[in-house]
């Protein structure tokens, strides 16, 4: 496993070492010791989630204001544009984002630590998105920032209008959202 730095130092792209031949491939998708070494601290994952979404579905930008979740995310079928937005008011990168394509083909993962809003847009006919979290889902603390907030300026690749949940249609601008200190 190796870590690839992003423009926001706490967010990392994790690239597994893939062993492949004519039969297929094998890789470790998670190894606690290696992951701890890569991110520089120990985390404990308590929940695994799996979502399947159709093309142009946009999920996010989600976070929990209490019981914040760090997320290790990956795609096992299809491809997404995955986005993390720094919403830690005291951070020098507050309001900035990083975006990377994660796909079954590239097998990359993204580490999105606590204190970030997270979302993704499905680029293929469908995508299966898996993620580990460092805290349990707490719906009463879940918040959303609107996907097209001009202050954040995410360049989503689709010309079609994204398909949003009712909750994500009601998301707030970063300027109006509860954020971390």
Q: How far apart are CA 132 and CA 147, in angstroms?
A: 22
Q: How far apart are CA 149 and CA 153, in angstroms?
A: 6
* Structure-model confidence comparison of residues 160 and 55, the more confident one: 55
Burial state string for 53-82 with b = 16 or more CB within 10 A and e = fewer than 16: beebbbbbbbbbeeebbbbbbbbeebbbbb
Give pLDDT tens digits for 69-79.
999 999 999 99
What pTM was estimated for this model as a whole? 0.95
Q: Which residues pair with 145 in a beta bridge?
A: 172
How far, rounded to the nearest angstrom, does the alpha carbon of residue 35 sit from its chain's CA centroid? 16
Give pLDDT tens digits for 2-28.
999 999 999 999 999 999 999 999 999
Give the gyration radius of the chain's Cα atoms: 16
Q: pLDDT averaged over the chain?
A: 96
Task: Write down the domain spans for the chain.
Answer: 45-176
Among 5, 10, 168, which residue's Cα sits nearest to residue 86? Answer: 10
Residue showing tokens 């308590």: 46
Give pLDDT tens digits for 141-178.
999 999 999 999 999 997 789 999 999 999 999 999 99
Average pLDDT over residues 90-102: 98
Q: Kindly list the catalytic residues.
A: 62, 131
Among 67, 80, 73, which residue's Cα sits nearest to residue 13? Answer: 73
- CATH ID of 45-176, from 3.20.20.370, 2.60.120.10, 3.30.565.10, 2.40.50.140: 2.60.120.10
Q: Which two tokens stand for residue 52?
A: 């399947």
Q: pLDDT band for 51, please (50, 70, 90 cuts).
A: very high
Listed in sequence order, the residues at least 6 apart from 87 whose beta carbon sits closer than 8 Å to its beta carbon are 63, 94, 95, 115, 116, 117, 145, 174, 177, 179, 180
| pLDDT of amino acid 121 | 98
């Amino acid at each position: 496993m190796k870590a690839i730095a992003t423009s926001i130092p706490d967010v990392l792209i994790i690239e597994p070492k893939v062993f492949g031949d004519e039969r297929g491939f094998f890789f470790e998708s998670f190894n606690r010791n290696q992951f701890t070494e890569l991110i520089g601290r120990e985390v404990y994952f308590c929940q695994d989630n799996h979502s399947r979404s159709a093309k142009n579905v946009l999920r996010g930008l989600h976070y929990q204001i209490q019981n914040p979740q760090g997320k290790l995310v990956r795609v096992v079928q299809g491809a997404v544009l995955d986005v993390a937005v720094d919403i830690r008011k005291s951070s020098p990168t507050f309001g900035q984002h990083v975006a990377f394509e994660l796909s079954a083909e590239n097998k990359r993962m993204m580490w999105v630590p606590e204190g970030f809003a997270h979302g993704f847009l499905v680029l293929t006919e469908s995508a299966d998105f898996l993620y580990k979290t460092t805290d349990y889902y707490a719906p009463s603390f879940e918040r959303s920032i609107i996907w097209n907030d001009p202050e954040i300026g995410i360049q989503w690749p689709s010309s079609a209008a994204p398909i949003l949940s009712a909750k994500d249609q009601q998301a707030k601008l970063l300027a109006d959202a509860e954020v971390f200190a």
